[in-house]
Amino acid sequence: MSLTVVGSIAFDAVTTPFGSREKMLGGSAVHFSLASSFFTDVRVVGPVGDDFGEAEYAVLRNRGVITDDIEHVPGGETFFWRGHYEYDLNTAHTDDTRLNVFGDFAPKLSDASRESDVLFLANIQPDLQREVREQMPDAKFVALDSMNLWIDIARDSLLKTIEGVDCVLLNDAEIRMLTRKPNLVQAARELRAIGPKVVVAKQGEYGAALLTEEGYFGLPAYPLETVNDPTGAGDSFAGGFVGYLAATGGEDLSHETLCRAMAYGTAIASYNVEEFGTERVSRLTRDEITARVGELQKITNFVDEPIALRA
């Protein structure tokens, strides 16, 4: 089962209380594709400039990511983001954003990318997401991510785009903001009424929640002693989640399958935050992922021993 991801490819400069990097590989499409590459063939679509070299391509290709649809813009510079985190690592503070070649991005999908069974629309302008979706009408499963900026300035366009996807992954505040409902369960129900069968609320250090017609499933983040950089954790989670679904065929959206996909996404995201940028995930192994999924299962499982409750 093949997967296409369309989104940003970037260089990030990040400072946290635990260290900093002046130029590291990043971007939503990069973090997503590295995570999903453990499950299926992944084609990444996004623009880069002359500053994106063989070392950066190697990070992706070493994980088997297919880079044929990365668009090299001669004379251009790759999208750049600078930010910092304080001790509340749930909140990224943007210090500088340079769109560079990403500012004029018009996704160009090859025949091979359009033929993928699964599509992930990473965080880009909603009109562009919809154009890509329309180029892949036969995709069996389509998932979408977005952000508060597009909810602020392009809400109607985003809602129109959401009508045509199977799954939405947003943080819980964005879901409430988009639907204008203060309660997450109500907000997810409203989103499902628009079109997607699956709503995933990313909740940072608290984990993630799955909301479908079948019910609710909450999974905590894996408990870590070392967290250095949360940049890309949400995209890594999405990559593990969507990648797992792609590996199972892209059409099995049963509650059990979706819960397992949540566990794999959570496990990979937990490795992402242990180091900066792509440093940890780029050398991650499948045995490490399997082990951490097993540990997640242990810490979220309990046996109910009924007792007589007092009136």
| DSSP code at position 202 | E
Q: What is the pLDDT of residue 148?
A: 93
Query: What does the pLDDT average to over 62-77?
Result: 97
What pLDDT, on the 0 to 100 scale, is given for residue 306? 84
153: domain CATH number?
3.40.1190.20
Residue 38 in this model has a pLDDT that exceeds 90: yes
Residue 307 confidence (pLDDT) above 90: no
**Is residue 245 in some structural domain?**
yes
As a whole number, mean pLDDT of residues 131-145 equals 96
pLDDT for the residue 311: 84
Amino acid (one-letter) located at 19: G
In the predicted structure, residue 1 carries a pLDDT above the cut 90: no
CA distance 263 to 237: 9
Q: Per the domain annotation, does 306 fall within a domain?
A: no
Q: Classify residue 304: in a domain, yes or no.
A: no
In a domain, 174, yes or no: yes
Which stretches of 168-252 are DSSP H helices? 172-179, 184-194, 233-247
pLDDT at position 34, please? 98
Whether residue 90 is predicted with pLDDT greater than 90 in this model: the reply is: no
Q: Could you tell me if residue 308 is inside a domain? A: no
State the total domains in the chain.
1
Domain extent for 78 = 2-299
- Confidence at 129, pLDDT banded by 50, 70, 90: very high
CB distance 300 to 219 below 8 Å: yes
Tell me the pLDDT band of 95, cut-offs 50, 70 and 90.
Answer: very high
Q: How many CB atoms lie within 10 A of CB 104?
A: 10
Q: Mean pLDDT score of the chain, rounded to an integer? A: 96
Q: What is the pLDDT of residue 302?
A: 82
Confidence at residue 303, expressed as pLDDT on a 0 to 100 scale:
80
Q: Looking at the domain assignment, is residue 309 inside a domain?
A: no
What band does 247 get if pLDDT is binned at 50, 70 and 90?
very high
Strands 141-145, 118-121: pairing kind = parallel
SS3 56: helix
pLDDT of residue 162: 97
- Is 236 strand, coil or helix? helix
- pLDDT tens digits, 272-301: 999 999 999 999 999 999 999 999 999 998
Structural domain includes residue 307:
no
Contact 250, 291 (CB under 8 A): no
Q: How confident is the model at residue 209 (pLDDT cuts 50, 70, 90)?
A: very high
Is residue 254 one of the residues assigned to a domain? yes
